């Protein structure tokens, strides 16, 4: 009979592939539902598109709210805080109901037009898959926790087509130290999940870039530094807005909790309808990456980018704070690209640099706002490299990302995921040893009873 170490290795290898398949299925489900729901609403004849674009995210929020309230409450939120709690307090346990609930409810809500990302939920789904496999292999609590890190790395690698960033994010956000066994499993899982994702969806970077940008004129570094400062300001506005509105919804007892996501969905739908009416572009509700690519290629007018930056921030805060199921990774990248494009336009106007600089600033802005919101500085640099396939903006990325990270941490020391958990009465001290049951115990596959709606 295989010993514990051999079972852990076997489960890690299999989990990497299975998590990749689960992630692909989740992403394809969202794409199918977007075409069925929000995209069809956007293209309805006459003025029906306005009504349906507003109502569809509201209906999606209503159905998600019912499911989160009465079926799978642990499936609310982005997924990252829930995995952190499972890793620190439950020896990696992510229940089957939580996993299925996250898949179904999140896919439906995003497909209906919520301004939320699929990347954080992919992490929770993959952590649930790896947790289920760990329990099936009867691994010890310590190794079950290690499998939670395997699921997180596999989820990020498959979601962003970025296996290297998946490793650094798991280290920065979850593990916090260099456990050799855990790190080995994270690397294997990230690589295998990326291979599966490549095999099914193709090996191209997430964003199509007609050319790779570089620094160009060194005088632009002044504006990249300014971009880092502005990214920190926008990150704090996003985080504070999300936490304050979420606190309001938690206090709002006169309206049933299951209605809250519908209210956030209606607000998001109204912003999406406004963007469609003004600019004939979407990105507030539905897939944001097609509109985001216009900023990355420098082909979007500056007024469009400025308005989209504001609308996306408000739409995401509304969708998330009202209690929906979805992540903030993709919105953070979208907001950052629009902000970067605006600063790039100023750079071109003042210094008369080539117009390509607008796209370069949009690329750097993605990483800077991501660093300010998520507080994963190494990941914020690597994820931009892997998503765009270009490495010519190393210095601007380092300057903008580290400026945004340092200032955002100075102004708000508690990161957004920890602050969300604290709103739910859960405080995790970064770097503290996880709590374990006795080493000879086995983790039962039961539904968590704690409130994990961050």
**Does 445 score more than 70 pLDDT?**
no
Residues constituting the chain: 454
**Does 448 score more than 70 pLDDT?**
no
In 3D, which of 18, 382, 28, 385 has the Cα closest to residue 201? 28
CA-to-CA dists, residue 382 to 121, 174, 212, 432, 448, angstroms: 20, 17, 15, 26, 34
Stretch (H or E) spanning 364? helix 356-374
Q: Is 390 left (phi over 0), alpha (psi -120 to 50) or beta?
A: beta
**Does 251 score more than 70 pLDDT?**
yes
* pLDDT for 444: 39
Q: Look up residue 121 and give its two tokens.
A: 């939920």
Q: Which domains, ranges and CATH numbers included, belong to the chain? A: 4-206 (1.10.3080.10), 218-421 (1.10.3080.10)
Contacts of 344 (CB under 8 A, 6+ apart): 223, 298, 357, 358, 359, 360, 361, 362
Q: Are 329 and 370 in contact (CB under 8 A)?
A: yes
Q: Are 159 and 386 in contact (CB under 8 A)?
A: no
* pLDDT for 219: 78
Tens digits of residue pLDDT in 361-406: 999 999 999 999 999 888 888 888 888 877 788 899 999 999 999 9
Stretch (H or E) spanning 404? helix 394-411
* pLDDT for 107: 96
Place of tokens 């499998």: 147
Q: Are 33 and 108 in contact (CB under 8 A)?
A: yes
The CB-side HSE value for 234 (13 A sphere, CA atoms) comes to 33
What is the pLDDT confidence band of residue 205, given thresholds at 50, 70 and 90? low
In 3D, which of 148, 173, 172, 169 has the Cα closest to residue 160? 169
The predicted model scores a pTM of: 0.91
What is the pLDDT confidence band of residue 449, given thresholds at 50, 70 and 90? very low
| Percent of the chain with pLDDT strictly greater than 90 | 58
**Does 169 score more than 80 pLDDT?**
yes
What is the pLDDT confidence band of residue 9, given thresholds at 50, 70 and 90? confident
Average pLDDT over residues 281-306: 91
Average pLDDT over residues 226-241: 97
Q: Are 154 and 19 in contact (CB under 8 A)?
A: yes
* pLDDT for 158: 85
How far, in Å, CA of 232 to CA of 443, rounded? 41
Q: Where are the beta strands (DSSP E) in 280-405?
A: none
Q: Average the pLDDT over each of 29-38, 46-55, 137-146, 212-221 and give the range with the smallest value.
A: 212-221
Average of per-residue pLDDT values in the chain? 87
3-state helix, strand, coil in the chain (%, to 5): 70, 0, 25
In 3D, which of 394, 263, 273, 285 has the Cα closest to residue 331? 285
Please measure the distance between the N-terminal and C-terminal CA atoms of the chain and give it in whole angstroms. 41
Burial of 91 (0-12, 13-18, 19+ CB in 10 A): buried
**Does 446 score more than 70 pLDDT?**
no
* pLDDT for 176: 64
What count of other Cβ atoms lies within 10 Å of the Cβ of residue 2? 10
In 3D, which of 16, 46, 336, 337 has the Cα closest to residue 196? 16
Residue 105 main-chain phi, psi, to 5 deg: -70, -40
Average pLDDT over residues 124-152: 91
Burial of 156 (0-12, 13-18, 19+ CB in 10 A): buried
Average pLDDT over residues 324-353: 92
Q: Average the pLDDT over each of 95-109, 244-258, 284-298, 395-409 and give the range with the smallest value.
A: 284-298
């Amino acid at each position: 009979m295989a010993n514990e170490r051999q079972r852990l290795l076997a489960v890690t290898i299999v989990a990497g592939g299975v998590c990749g398949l689960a992630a692909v299925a989740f992403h394809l489900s969202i794409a199918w539902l977007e075409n069925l729901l929000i995209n069809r609403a956007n293209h309805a004849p006459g003025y029906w598109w306005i009504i349906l674009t507003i109502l569809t995210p509201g209906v999606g929020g209503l159905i998600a709210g019912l499911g989160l309230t009465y079926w799978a409450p642990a499936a609310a939120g982005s997924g990252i805080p829930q995995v952190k709690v499972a890793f620190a307090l439950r020896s990696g346990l992510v229940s089957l109901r939580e996993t299925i609930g996250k898949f179904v409810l999140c896919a439906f809500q995003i497909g209906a037009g919520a301004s939320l990302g699929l990347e954080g939920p992919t992490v929770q789904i993959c952590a649930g898959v790896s947790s289920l496999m760990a329990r099936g292999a009867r691994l010890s609590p310590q190794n079950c926790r290690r499998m939670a890190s395997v699921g997180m790395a596999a989820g990020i690698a498959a979601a962003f087509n970025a296996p290297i960033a998946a490793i650094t994010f798991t280290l920065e956000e979850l593990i916090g130290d260099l456990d050799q066994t855990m790190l080995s499993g994270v690397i294997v899982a990230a690589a295998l999940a990326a291979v599966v994702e490549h095999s099914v969806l193709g090996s191209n970077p997430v964003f199509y870039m007609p050319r790779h940008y570089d620094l160009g004129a060194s005088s632009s570094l002044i504006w990249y530094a300014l971009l880092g400062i502005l990214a920190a300001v926008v990150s704090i506005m996003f985080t504070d807005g999300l936490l304050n509105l979420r606190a309001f919804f938690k206090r709002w007892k006169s309206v049933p909790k299951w209605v809250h996501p519908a209210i956030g969905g209606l607000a998001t739908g109204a912003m999406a309808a406004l963007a469609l009416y003004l600019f004939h572009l979407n990105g507030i509700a539905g897939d944001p990456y097609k509109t985001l690519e216009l900023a990355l290629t420098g082909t979007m007018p500056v007024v469009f980018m400025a308005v989209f930056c504001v609308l996306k921030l408000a739409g995401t805060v509304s969708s998330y704070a009202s209690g929906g199921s979805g992540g903030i990774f993709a919105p953070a990248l979208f907001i950052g690209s629009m902000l970067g494009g605006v600063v790039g336009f100023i750079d071109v106007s003042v210094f008369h640099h080539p117009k390509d600089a607008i796209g370069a600033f949009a690329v750097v802005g993605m990483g800077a706002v991501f660093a300010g919101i998520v507080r994963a500085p190494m990941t914020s640099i690597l994820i931009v490299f892997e998503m765009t396939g270009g490495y010519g903006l190393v210095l601007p990325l380092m300057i903008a990302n580290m400026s945004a990270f340092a200032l955002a941490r100075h102004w708000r020391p508690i990161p957004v995921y920890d602050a969300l958990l604290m709103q739910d009465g859960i405080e995790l001290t970064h770097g503290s040893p996880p709590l374990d049951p006795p080493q000879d115990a086995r983790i039962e596959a039961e539904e968590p009873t704690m409130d994990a709606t961050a």
